[in-house]
Amino acid sequence: MALVTQHQVDSAQELRGCDNNFFLHFAPGSEGTIYRERPVFTRLQEYDPDLVRICLHSGDKFSRYQVTREDHYNTIFPAYKFMANNVHDSDPGVCNNQDRSGKFYLFR
């Protein structure tokens, strides 16, 4: 097992400015459930369940327009920092035809 380097972003603002679906890890409903089945999400859950709870709460509020996109990304950015350093090459779907390096796994 080797780590797969993810696209480097240094701030919540930079993450928010990138075209990405990372926020879906914390979305309510079936879309979020699919993303939360990823092994890297399980690693986050085991590492910091309180952070996951906070991010899920923010995702629920974001889906109901109770927090801004900026506030939501400020909340979930610590999760991105952890997850970006914990994607393994053995995780299903990391590399595909559009992203052979797996660098944008957390963005799709």
Per-domain residue ranges for the chain? 12-107
The reported pLDDT for the residue numbered 1 is 78
The reported pLDDT for the residue numbered 42 is 97
- Check pLDDT > 90 for residue 97: no
Task: Categorize the per-residue pLDDT at 100 as very low, low, confident or very high, splitting at 50, 70 and 90.
Answer: confident
Model-wide pTM > 0.85: yes
How much of the chain exceeds pLDDT 90, in percent? 88
Q: How many whole angstroms separate alpha carbon 60 and alpha carbon 54?
A: 10
- Check pLDDT > 90 for residue 95: no
Mean pLDDT of 39-57: 98
Taking only Cα atoms into account, the Rg of the chain, rounded to an integer number of angstroms, comes to 13
Mean pLDDT of the chain: 94
- Are residues 83 and 8 in contact, defined by beta-carbon separation less than 8 angstroms? no
Task: Categorize the per-residue pLDDT at 24 as very low, low, confident or very high, splitting at 50, 70 and 90.
Answer: very high
- Are residues 4 and 85 in contact, defined by beta-carbon separation less than 8 angstroms? no
The per-residue pLDDT for range 60-80, each reduced to its tens digit, is: 999 999 999 999 999 999 999
Return the HEC string of the chain. CCECCCCCCCCHHHHHHCCCCHHHHHCCHHHHHHHHCCHHHHHHHHHCHHHHHHHHHHHHHHHCCCCCHHHHHHHHHHHHHHHHCCCECCCCCCCCCCCCCCCCHHHC
